[in-house]
């Protein structure tokens, strides 16, 4: 996806019509989708469309519900400076979101 497409892509919902993920052809044939949105996502490849259509809502939320899906909090680093650097990087990413 282009930078502009990533900015506007709804990560939770994906590409849906009436709450159902749809194929690229169905999305572009739908009168419910604006011409601007069709123009924005027109260059998304069919392969990427299949991966993006469902969105990531249920997958992302599972880390908060299922303990086994959570990131490992016992991460080890080779040097303490690495942990500080990594913590700063994670904080910067969170701030950017």
Q: pLDDT tens across 22-35, in order?
A: 999 999 999 999 99
Domain limits for position 9: 3-71
Decide if 85 is inside a domain: no
Decide if 91 is inside a domain: no
Residues 6+ apart with CB under 8 A from 65: none
pLDDT at 13 over 70: yes
- Tell me the whole-structure pTM to 2 decimals: 0.58
Decide if 79 is inside a domain: no
Instruction: Return the pLDDT at 67.
Output: 67
For residue 20, give the H/E element and its range.
Answer: strand 20-21
Number of compact structural domains in the chain: 1
pLDDT at 88 over 90: no
Instruction: Return the pLDDT at 44.
Output: 96
């Amino acid at each position: 996806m282009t930078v502009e497409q990533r900015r506007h892509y709804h990560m939770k919902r994906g590409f849906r019509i009436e709450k159902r993920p749809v194929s690229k052809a169905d999305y572009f044939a739908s009168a419910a989708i604006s011409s601007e949105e069709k123009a924005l996502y027109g260059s998304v490849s069919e392969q990427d469309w299949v991966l993006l259509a469902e969105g990531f809502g249920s997958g992302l939320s599972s880390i908060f519900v299922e303990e086994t899906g959570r990131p490992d909090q016992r991460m080890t680093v080779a040097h303490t400076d690495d942990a500080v650097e990594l913590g700063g990087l994670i904080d910067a990413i969170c701030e950017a979101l």
